[in-house]
Amino acid sequence: MPVYTFQRQDGQLFDKRLCFAEFEAVRTGKKEVVDENGQTMTLVFNPTGFGFVLKDGISGGWISKSLAENDYRLKRREVLAKKEKDHFHTATLVPNYEGQEAHCWVDVRDHARSVKGEASARTYDRLVQQEKGTT
């Protein structure tokens, strides 16, 4: 049942639940709403005092539809990831030093060690480990 706002004769606002039939009778003037002292109250327009509840219907409710959509998206993501893996080439990093291609990252690391020193060679350690398959 909706909650309607009424105003007492002293100016205080009062909320009261009415069914739609009672509200229609109050609105048309066929019925009066009285407070605990027996004084008539008038209906006040209060647009902030409304609310609603979403309930599951025959086709399901908001929650069940959301869960179904999330399941669909999860399965779709798996299918698309497989398609991408099967049909699209993923670019790989080619071993090179200053634009000159090399056979492997070990060669690049050794060349960097001889040209620029140990500090420069350490920057290639991660790539060498990946190439060996230990990481």
CA distances from 65 to 17, 70, 95 (A): 32, 9, 50
Predicted pLDDT of residue 85 = 87
Dihedral of CA atoms 14, 19, 22, 27 in degrees, nearest 10, equals: 60
Q: pLDDT 10s per residue in the chain (135 long)?
A: 778 889 998 888 888 888 889 888 988 889 998 888 888 888 887 666 566 766 677 777 777 788 889 999 999 999 999 998 888 887 778 888 888 888 899 999 999 999 999 998 999 999 999 888 854
Which pLDDT belongs to residue 117?
92
- Model pTM greater than 0.85? no
Q: Identify the helix (H) or strand (E) that includes residue 16.
A: strand 13-17
pLDDT of residue 2: 79
Mean pLDDT of the chain: 85
Predicted local distance difference test score (pLDDT) of residue 118: 92
Q: Kind and range of the H or E element at 5?
A: strand 3-7
Q: Is 103 exposed, middle or buried (0-12, 13-18, 19+ CB in 10 A)?
A: exposed
